[in-house]
Amino acid sequence: MDLIEALYADGLTCVVGAGGKKTTLYALANAAERAVLTATVRIPLFDEQVSRVVVTDDPVGELDGNGEWPLGLVPEREDDRYRGYDPEVVDDLSAHAPGPVLVKADGARTREFKAPGEDEPRIPEHADTVLPVASVHVVGKPLSEEFVHRPERVADLTGLSTGDTVEPEHVAQVLAHARGGLKGVPRDATVVPVLNKVDDGDLLVTARRIAHGIHDLLAEEFHVPHVALTSHGEVVRTV
């Protein structure tokens, strides 16, 4: 299945969550025509994932005459990371971009699963699509900082205690929660939850359980056409 079509990533698309954000962003950037890759939070250096990266305070100006896509745009470099733009700047960038604008909108410190903090995600007001990501590898693991970013927030949303085993229903609860995967999503945006690392048949069964749980829990005001199951930047199926 076409990645852009499955993830509704033909406009201003924000990726949040844990366990596959960067893989998803890079795969989308290279699958789309004339894509821009950027962030509203810090992002590890990604020069090898795009045709070129430009550090600039005028991202809109860099679009004129650009012939190398996908294009990375960031405001500043800090050691092994780039800083992100304010969400309002990304909104303006998207209004002028000739193709999709793909945005890393929160952080997870390479964990498999998370719930957002007080000051995140940083989703632009005019985002067309939001992709809340979780790795199915977290199922069966203990709720701990080794596997989960901000485990105390996951505990608050699920009723789990530190050290308890994360089950499919807990992943669904977080991704479908207004203070979880749906936090900060504009009401007119499309939401496509992404269950990543669905690498074999057993994990597919797990992912399908999570996906059905998400559909059962979602509030009606959110437009969620399906849940995407992915592996290595490719769509395995939608549910």
Domain assignments of the chain as residue spans, ordered by start: 3-238
Which CA distances in Å does 64 have to 58, 59, 214?
11, 10, 41
Could you tell me the pLDDT band of residue 1, with boundaries at 50, 70 and 90? confident
Express as a percent the part of the chain with pLDDT over 70: 100
Mean pLDDT across the stretch 129-141? 98
Mean pLDDT across the stretch 110-129? 97
CA atoms of 46 and 136, how far apart (whole Å): 25
pLDDT tens digit string along 93-103? 999 999 999 99
pLDDT tens digit string along 136-173? 999 999 999 999 999 999 999 999 999 999 999 999 99
pLDDT tens digit string along 43-100? 999 999 999 999 999 999 999 999 999 999 999 999 999 999 999 999 999 999 999 9
Going by their DSSP bridges, the two strands 113-114 and 36-39 should be labelled as unpaired
Mean pLDDT of the chain: 97
Q: Assess whether pLDDT exceeds 90 at residue 220.
A: no
Q: Assess whether pLDDT exceeds 90 at residue 221.
A: no
Cis-peptide into 116, omega within 30 deg: no
Mean pLDDT across the stretch 102-115? 97
- CA dihedral 167→170→175→178, nearest 10 degrees, is 180
Q: What is the DSSP string of 12-38?
A: EEEEEESSSHHHHHHHHHHHSSS-EEE
Query: Which pTM value belongs to this model?
Result: 0.97
User: For residue 219, what pLDDT is reported?
Assistant: 82
CA atoms of 67 and 156, how far apart (whole Å): 47
Cα angle: 60, vertex 129, 212; to 5 degrees: 160
Candidates 3.40.1800, 3.40.50, 3.30.2390, 1.25.10; CATH matching 3-238: 3.40.50
Beta strands in 81-196 (DSSP E): 81-82, 101-104, 113-114, 129-135, 148-149, 190-191, 194-196
Q: Assess whether pLDDT exceeds 90 at residue 222.
A: yes
CA atoms of 205 and 110, how far apart (whole Å): 24
